[in-house]
Amino acid sequence: MADKIPKELQDKIQQLQLMQQQLQMFSAQKQQFQLQQTEVENAQEELKNAKSKTYKLVGEILVEKTKTELGKELEDKRKRLDLRVRAIEKQEKSIHERAMELQEKLTKKLK
């Protein structure tokens, strides 16, 4: 069967498969970042409710930090995660559009 498919089409099929793998990789990365976002949001909520001293885990040591310092660190982390998720979503959209175009071309050529 592979002998009957022209080399050009085989290359395009491989290209489409690579795009699908990239989409899966981006999806997994986005999930990880979204999980981290949820953790940061939960930490921010807990920090708002904190009435006594606050601490940050650094390696295996708890270091005392002010609520303001921790709040700023968490907000900075949330912003970085938001940027990463948006960047991944842009890449996903671009690759998805290219993959759909390529799939349409392949479908037409294989009919």
**Parallel, antiparallel, or unpaired: how do β-strands 54-58 and 61-65 relate?**
antiparallel
Per-residue pLDDT at 3? 58
Q: Name, in order, each residue with C-beta under 8 angstroms of 106's C-beta and a sequence gap of 6 or more.
A: 9, 12, 13, 16
pLDDT at 90: 98
Contact 76, 14 (CB under 8 A): no
Closest CA to 99 of 5, 6, 23: 23
**What was the pLDDT predicted at 110?**
79
Q: Which residues of the chain have a pLDDT value below 70?
A: 1-3
Domain ranges of the chain: 67-111
pLDDT at site 7:
87
The pLDDT, as a whole number, for residue 8 is 87
CB 69 within 8 A of CB 58: no
Question: Residue 44: CB partners within 8 Å, gap ≥ 6?
Answer: 71, 74, 75, 78
Measured CA to CA, the distance from residue 7 to residue 106 in angstroms comes to: 13
pTM over 0.85: no
Task: Please state, rounded to an integer, the average pLDDT across all residues of the chain.
Answer: 93
